Amino acid sequence: MTPRGVIVLAVAAAVSVAGATWQLQANSSGYEEAQRGERLLPDLLAKANDVAAIVISQADNTVRIERAGTSYILGGSGYPVKGGKFQTAIVATASLEKFDAKTARPDKYPLIEVEPPADKTANSRLIRFEDASGNDLGEIILGKKARGRLGGAVGDGQYVRLPGETQSWLARGVVDADVKLETWVDNAITDMNVEFVVRAVFQPTGGPELMVRRTGVTEGGQPKFELNRVPDGKKPKNDLTLRYAATDLGNVNFVDVRKDQGGDVVQRATLMMADGLTAEFRITADDWVSLHVVNDGQDKTTTKDLKARTQGWQYKLADYKLKQLQLTMSDLTEDVTE
């Protein structure tokens, strides 16, 4: 997966950290003491206006955010990034200050998550800032956060290491950098009030169409749904299974995104809301999903927003979420027992 990169910060301040058995203290020297308060990337803030891209990498994953005029997008797909993330990433990283020297032993790096980020099992992340020509404006390895470990009213820090250097540091400040897509973009496809879901229709490959529709409320006051065309010898599993079959379509998030490339649609799942808004998920043979509004709802604002966010895009879902769009009769029924 190669979406894009950006960061959320929480620049903090500090006092000393003694503590936890897993923490590794480097042998303090006068030289190390003299460095306390130094910026890890002292030139980055002055070059902030030159930053054209931010890249975060961890193991086999890379996230890239690019400047696009006055806005910011995911590298590759062009999907819009949440406002403010780009600038926050720069300020957060540029503000990291050396607070306490830690281990310089590579075998101890994993304990504070400053091991080489390219390792397949790495928990560390490399954040890199590039200009428009791809030149390096600064990079740093981000490790485990040290919330509250600096003492005082603003006692948050983070373990870090500069690439090419063996010395690691507990830094004053926090950079919330991750390669997960949802950290940087609004990854909702549908975000509906599930109390107003009235129907879901599933068209699985090679099987009968399923319809789960709302019929009222259960004895416990929860929305009640029924399944159509239940085969002889079968019965719906339970009220909860049917309710989730319908309402799960109201909250669907993606883990990757690309421009809509079309492709053969092999499965569909349709969601209908109480105001008439009807949206169809279309699943291609390679498991990319697009959403299409096939009937506008009475709430024109919601309909307009849904169309604006989803038109022209295809999404990759987590396996469990894709399965929720691909329900079959066997998922919703069980044998009748005497």
Per-residue pLDDT of 120-140, as tens digits, reads 999 999 999 999 999 999 999
Q: Is the separation of the CB atoms in 129 and 50 below 8 Å? A: no
Q: What is the pLDDT of residue 208?
A: 80
The pTM score is: 0.81
Which uninterrupted H or E stretch holds 166? Answer: none
Q: What is the pLDDT of residue 33?
A: 60
Q: What is the pLDDT of residue 187?
A: 95
Q: What is the pLDDT of residue 206?
A: 77
Q: 320 by DSSP, 3-state: which?
A: helix
Q: What is the pLDDT of residue 224?
A: 92
Q: What is the pLDDT of residue 32?
A: 57
Residue (of 311, 322, 312, 245) closest to 288 by Cα position: 322
Q: What is the pLDDT of residue 221?
A: 83
pLDDT, the chain, mean? 88
Number of residues that this document lists for the chain: 338
Rounded (5°) CA angle 270-276-281: 20
CA separation for the pair 172, 157 (Å, rounded): 5
Residue 80 has what DSSP assignment? B
In the chain, which stretches have pLDDT less than 70?
Answer: 1-34, 149, 151-154, 338
- DSSP code per residue over 102-121: B---GGGHHHHT-S-TTSTT
